[in-house]
Structures are given as structure tokens and as C-alpha cells.
Amino acid sequence: MKTIKIAHLYPKLLNIYGDIGNIITLKKRCEWRNLNVEINEINIGDPIKEHDIYFIGGGQDKQQIEVSKELLKHKDFLLEQRDKLAVFLGICGGYQLFGNYYQPKNEEKILGIELIDAYTVAGEKRFIGNVTVKTDFVEPNSLVGFENHSGLTFLEGETIPLGTVAVGYGNNGKDFSEGARYKNVFGTYLHGSFLPKNPHFADYLIELALGTKPDDINSEIEFKTHYSLINKKY
Ligand code: GLN
């Protein structure tokens, strides 16, 4: 039986607002289905081997600078993985590093690894609060989470948003877009954590990694949480 290999990229630097919950959710939802799952933490200086899913969380600019330098060393390998349709999920600061660059205010540009065609610039205001997103590629067609960022992300080329913001600010507070996707790469500003509150999205990632739909499991409590958060304002 296939083992789903998950790389948790730089958890010592990028891991805030419960981002680790995303890894726990993926692990549990695999285990509950008796799927073999292996989680490998990748920290600064570690080599990155081939995985089915690559996850990276959020953090502050200072940590992003350090992680950016390290990720750039692995850029070619990760682009190759993207083109082989490996699954990537980046949250907030990690999402910004999946793009072309993040330009903070009065500081040097932080380079991303260009897994998606997107760029981020520092905004004047910090976007904090609950977010509800309407989407069209997972069922139920909603995503919920909590955002806390000042970077404004703009998508270009073939990179499209995860969905449209119904509550909250999303990518930039201007065009109602939230998150990004290209091939099997996904980025989002939704923390707090994202996958525990969106079990259908966790299962979608598992499906992409497996290449087949995973068995149904009872997710009553998780979906109760999901639905209770829809349209909840901060
Ligand atoms: N430093 C980035 C911003 O504020 C990312 C923040 C985060 O990951 N929460 O835009």
C-alpha cells in the first residue's frame, strides 16, 4: 500500500496561529482511513527528498527572510516537484514565498520560489479577522479561516484564486480574491488552522496525493465547526 509522504517545511521558523493543525489533520484523516502516512520535518540545512505533499506555514518577515534564502537553494527541485503534480499547501507567509516575491516596506525584496505566478507588496493596514470564501472546486463550496497579514498579494498569468471572499479581506482587500492555485499548488491567507476547519479541503489534498478518492469517514464534528464559522464576523 502507498505511503503518503508529507514534508513539513521549516516548522521551527514558520508556524503560527495553529498552522501545525494542518499537519495533524492530514495525518489523522489518513490514519482514520488506514492509509500509511509519514511526516518529515525539514529544517534549515536539511536536504529535501521527494514527497507527495509539501506544507509550509506562516510567520513574520524576519523568519520569511531566513526561509526564503533556504528555499531558493531548493527552488529547481521544488519546481520539478510542482510539474510532477506534487501537492503544495502554503499558509500566509509561506504562501507569499510560493510566489515571485514579497516586497516589505522599506526593506529588501524577499524572493519567492515562483511555484505560482503571484507577487506580494506590503500594505498600509493589517487585515485581521475571520474569513469566509466561496469556492467552486471543492464540495461544500466554502472555506473558512482566520487571516492576519499586511502583505497584499496579486495573482497573475495562469494562477487563479481559491475563491471569492464573502467575509474578510483575502489576498489584497481589493479584488475579493482569496488564495491561489496553479497545478496542485495551493496558497491561502487562512490560518487558525485551515484544514481542521475545512475537512473537505484536507480530503481534496489527500485525493490529489493518492490519485484516487479516499474512503468516506465520519466528519460530523468537523463539518459542524465548518458551518458554524461561515459568515461569522470578527
Ligand atoms: N509577514 C507577512 C504579512 O504580514 C505574513 C504574516 C503571516 O504569515 N501571518 O503579510
User: 49 lies in a domain?
Assistant: yes
Residue 144 has pLDDT above 80, yes or no: yes
Q: Which atom of ligand 1 is nearest to the CA of 94?
A: 8
Mean pLDDT of 64-84: 98
Say which CATH number the domain at 106 has. Answer: 3.40.50.880
Nearest residue to 227 (alpha-carbon basis) of 206, 187, 199: 199
User: 234 lies in a domain?
Assistant: no
Among 55, 96, 102, 121, say which to mutate for ligand 1: greatest number of ligand atoms within 8 Å of CB: 96
Mean pLDDT of 71-97: 98
Distance 149 CA to ligand 1 centre (A): 4
Read off the pTM.
Answer: 0.97
Domain that includes residue 201, residue range: 3-229
* Number of structural domains the chain divides into: 1
User: 70 lies in a domain?
Assistant: yes
CB 67 within 8 A of CB 154: no
Residue 90 has pLDDT above 80, yes or no: yes
User: 31 lies in a domain?
Assistant: yes
Mean pLDDT of 68-89: 98
CB 151 within 8 A of CB 133: no
Candidates 92, 149, 200, 226; catalytic one: 92
Residue 111 has pLDDT above 80, yes or no: yes
92 is catalytic: yes
User: 82 lies in a domain?
Assistant: yes
Q: Tens digits of per-residue pLDDT, 178-194?
A: 999 999 999 999 997 89
Distance 16 CA to ligand 1 centre (A): 10
Candidates 8, 51, 149, 191; catalytic one: 191
SS3 71: helix
User: 145 lies in a domain?
Assistant: yes
Distance 112 CA to ligand 1 centre (A): 14
Nearest residue to 50 (alpha-carbon basis) of 59, 65, 40: 40
Q: Tens digits of per-residue pLDDT, 9-40?
A: 999 999 988 999 999 999 999 999 999 999 99
User: 219 lies in a domain?
Assistant: yes
With bands split at pLDDT 50, 70 and 90, how would you rate the model's confidence at 162? very high
CB 141 within 8 A of CB 155: no
